[in-house]
């Protein structure tokens, strides 16, 4: 096999993409190919290795690690020194495999699609650092900031005063409670809940002043109409299209419950993340549909005014239902939910194809508790983005239910394994944050997680020839059947890590069960 590489850095002097092509052997496309009569210069000395994990090495939850590796090009003659002056960060690359130099370009296999970080020049080589497309999600989720130009009640729109200049505007996805909206026009007492359109301020506890319920009036389509609205003390009006709320009297501490997403079905973890990463392109609609079906529970997240990356926000939402976000080798964003492995695997891995015969290592997970059976699982849900002390609410006309809600940031859904309390007295008591909105959904997820973590969980690492697992990807189930650890009859295991080394055609595979 020969390897062919296309890279798309930008020439800073022109601002244009420059597509460069290299191969592990010289290769020219045919006149009938697209692109036609195109030369791949023989430069690849090591097509590299490349790590990808469902979450991170030996982990089954938390933020997804950005996969990475490097590709080595020959540069003994210094002919590639010009690469130093090109911009590589965030630019695309495509690595292909071809049977040999005489094969048709159309017969190529796509081995990897991703982005580049930078180039280095170790001795007589060029090293191209590559990353998967998760790296593109490390951009901030909100690029808009306040201008700080609202200096009167008629000028400057709703951009806040100079103290808000360059502060990021908040975003809301799904449903959230006790949001502290941002004062964006102090002259007209206008606040911004979120810079993206809202579907509605919901239920009777929509807005409160230091815990005191305010009365909703009307929603207005424009900022001008909102400013012109007639209000009395204790009332508020909205411009949901702009995520704005106006009160008559400046509140002491204003909190708002709000929703984004037209219907309940639009506020599942899958649908929220689908909207979050839509601009990045290259998503699997089938994956998002399947994840929504697996758990359509209502979720919500408010970003506030601090900087948050797309990846961090998406992972926070997905973690609510045990979900993950990865990128496949073709550069497509994939989502799913961590489940216990069941059924026959896609391939059987035993002494006939595990390199070294029965060379397999077992290690504890890198999760909290290190894979020791858990005594309990607690899912935190219904986050209050603003909390009060009991002293704050002492003289407030509020219900007991609201008082109990307002003094706690989180509500808790806890399930306990009575057997493990006795059998594993030092077992972990796991706590999971979530963006879930309802207790029933949180309790269901806690019960599901306890079924996973109440038993010992193992991670096994082994090496196989890459052509033994040509279609195996993260999240797939394989049958593990080495004559070790009582697995000779075959047990299902889920793939949580893949590290192919292309120069040797060997893949290290990490599985969990």
Residue 14 lies in a domain: yes
* C-alpha closest to that of 449 among 458, 438, 441: 441
Residues 223, 114 within the same domain: no
Helix/strand/coil (H, E, C) string of 467-487?
Answer: HHCCCCCCCCEEEECCCCCCC
Q: How much is the pLDDT for 28? A: 97
Q: How much is the pLDDT for 357? A: 72
pTM of the predicted structure, to 2 decimals: 0.92
| Mean pLDDT of all residues in 442-450 | 98
CB 221, CB 241: distance < 8 Å: yes
pLDDT in tens, 350-360: 999 999 876 89
Residues 247, 204 within the same domain: yes
Residue 200 has pLDDT above 90, yes or no: no
Residues 72, 221 within the same domain: no
Residue 293 lies in a domain: yes
Residue 56 lies in a domain: yes
- How far, in Å, CA of 113 to CA of 390, rounded? 55
Output the CA angle 314-319-323, nearest 5 degrees: 85
Residue 370 has pLDDT above 90, yes or no: no
Residue 446 phi, psi (nearest 5): -60, -40
CATH number at residue 501: 2.40.10
Residue 489 lies in a domain: yes
Domain's final residue, options 426, 453, 480: 453
Residue 205 has pLDDT above 60, yes or no: no
Residue 109 has pLDDT above 70, yes or no: yes
Residues 289, 395 within the same domain: no
Helices 310-318, 269-276: axis angle to 10 degrees equals 170
Question: Given the DSSP bridges, would you call strands 172-179 and 125-131 parallel, antiparallel or unpaired?
Answer: unpaired
3-class SS at 135? helix
- How far, in Å, CA of 470 to CA of 462, rounded? 16
Output the CA angle 6-7-12, nearest 5 degrees: 150
Residue 14 has pLDDT above 90, yes or no: yes
Count of helix runs (H) and strand runs (E) in the chain: 7, 33
Residues 12, 77 within the same domain: yes
| Dihedral sign from CA coordinates of 268, 271, 274, 276 | negative
Residue 147 lies in a domain: no
Q: How much is the pLDDT for 203? A: 38
Residues 391, 359 within the same domain: no
| Mean pLDDT of all residues in 318-339 | 95
| Mean pLDDT of all residues in 306-313 | 95
Which stretch of 90-94, 382-386, 469-473 has the lowest confidence by average pLDDT? 469-473
- How far, in Å, CA of 93 to CA of 3, rounded? 13
Residues 85, 217 within the same domain: no
Residues 359, 494 within the same domain: yes
| Mean pLDDT of all residues in 29-52 | 94
Q: How much is the pLDDT for 359? A: 81
State how many domains the chain has: 5
| Mean pLDDT of all residues in 456-476 | 92
Residue 204 has pLDDT above 60, yes or no: no
For residue 295, what pLDDT band results from cuts at 50, 70 and 90? Answer: very high
* Residues belonging to the chain: 513
| Rg of the chain, C-alpha, whole Å | 27
Residue 152 lies in a domain: no
Domain's final residue, options 78, 111, 131: 131
Residues 252, 298 within the same domain: no
Tokens of 10: 């930008």
Domain's final residue, options 259, 278, 294: 259
| Mean pLDDT of all residues in 249-269 | 93
Tokens of 256: 């708002």
Residue 342 lies in a domain: no
| Dihedral sign from CA coordinates of 61, 408, 173, 168 | negative
Residue 421 has pLDDT above 60, yes or no: yes
Residues 242, 202 within the same domain: yes
Residue 241 lies in a domain: yes
* C-alpha closest to that of 405 among 175, 67, 76, 177: 177
Q: Look at 497 and 371; give whichever has higher pLDDT.
A: 497
Residues 16, 105 within the same domain: yes
DSSP string, 225-268: HHHH----TTEEEEEGGGTEEEESS--SSEEEEEE-SSSGGGGB
Residues 362, 492 within the same domain: yes
- How far, in Å, CA of 159 to CA of 52, rounded? 42
pLDDT in tens, 138-157: 999 999 999 999 988 887 79
Range of the domain at 211: 162-259
- How far, in Å, CA of 432 to CA of 340, rounded? 18
- How far, in Å, CA of 118 to CA of 344, rounded? 42
Residue 476 phi, psi (nearest 5): -70, 160
CB 224, CB 165: distance < 8 Å: no
Who contacts 155 (Cβ-Cβ below 8 Å, separation ≥6)? 149
For residue 201, what pLDDT band results from cuts at 50, 70 and 90? Answer: low
């Amino acid at each position: 096999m020969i390897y062919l590489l296309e890279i798309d850095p930008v020439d800073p002097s022109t601002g244009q993409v420059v597509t460069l092509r290299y191969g592990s052997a010289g290769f020219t496309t045919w006149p009938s190919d697209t692109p036609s009569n195109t030369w791949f210069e023989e430069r690849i000395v090591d097509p590299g290795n490349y790590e990808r994990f469902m979450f991170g090495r030996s982990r089954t939850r938390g933020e997804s690690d950005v996969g990475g590796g490097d590709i080595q090009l020959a540069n003994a003659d210094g002919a590639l020194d010009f690469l130093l002056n090109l911009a590589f960060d965030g630019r695309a690359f495509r690595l292909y495999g071809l049977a040999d130099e005489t094969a048709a370009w159309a017969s190529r296999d796509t081995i990897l699609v991703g982005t580049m970080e930078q180039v280095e020049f170790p001795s007589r080589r060029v090293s191209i650092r590559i990353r998967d497309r998760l790296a593109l999600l490390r951009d901030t989720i909100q690029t808009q900031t306040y201008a700080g130009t609202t200096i009167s009640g008629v000028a400057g729109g709703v951009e806040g005063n100079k103290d808000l200049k360059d502060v990021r505007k908040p975003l809301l996805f799904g449903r959230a409670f006790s949001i502290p909206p941002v004062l964006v026009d102090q002259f007209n007492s206008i606040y911004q809940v979120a810079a993206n359109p809202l579907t509605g301020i919901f239920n009777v506890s929509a807005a409160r002043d230091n815990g005191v319920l305010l009365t909703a009036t009307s929603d207005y389509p424009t900022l001008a109409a909102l400013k012109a609205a007639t209000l009395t003390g204790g009332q508020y009006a909205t411009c949901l299209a702009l995520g704005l709320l106006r009160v008559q009297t400046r509140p002491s501490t204003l909190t708002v419950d709000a929703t984004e997403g037209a219907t309940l079905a639009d506020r599942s973890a899958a649908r929220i993340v689908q909207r979050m990463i839509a601009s990045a392109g290259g998503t699997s609609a089938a994956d998002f549909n399947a994840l929504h079906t697996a758990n359509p529970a209502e979720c919500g997240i408010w970003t506030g005014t601090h900087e948050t990356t797309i990846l961090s926000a998406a992972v926070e939402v997905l973690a609510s239902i045990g979900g993950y976000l990865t990128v496949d080798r073709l550069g497509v964003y994939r989502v799913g939910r961590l489940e216990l492995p069941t059924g026959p695997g896609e391939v059987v891995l035993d002494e006939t194809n595990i390199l070294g015969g029965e060379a397999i290592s077992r290690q504890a997970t890198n999760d909290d508790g290190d894979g020791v059976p858990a005594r309990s699982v607690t899912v935190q849900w219904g986050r209050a983005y603003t909390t009060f002390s009991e002293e704050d609410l002492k003289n407030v006309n509020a219900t007991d239910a609201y008082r109990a809600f307002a003094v706690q940031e989180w509500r808790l859904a806890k399930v306990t394994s009575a057997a493990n309390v006795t059998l594993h007295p030092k077992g972990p008591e796991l706590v999971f944050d979530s963006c879930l909105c309802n207790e029933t959904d949180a309790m269901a997820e806690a019960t599901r997680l306890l079924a996973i973590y109440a038993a010992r969980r193992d991670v096994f690492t082994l090496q196989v020839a890459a052509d033994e697992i040509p279609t195996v990807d993260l999240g797939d189930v394989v049958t593990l059947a080495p004559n070790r650890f009582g697995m000779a009859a075959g047990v299902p295991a889920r793939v949580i890590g893949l590290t192919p080394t292309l120069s040797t055609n060997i893949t290290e595979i990490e599985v969990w069960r």
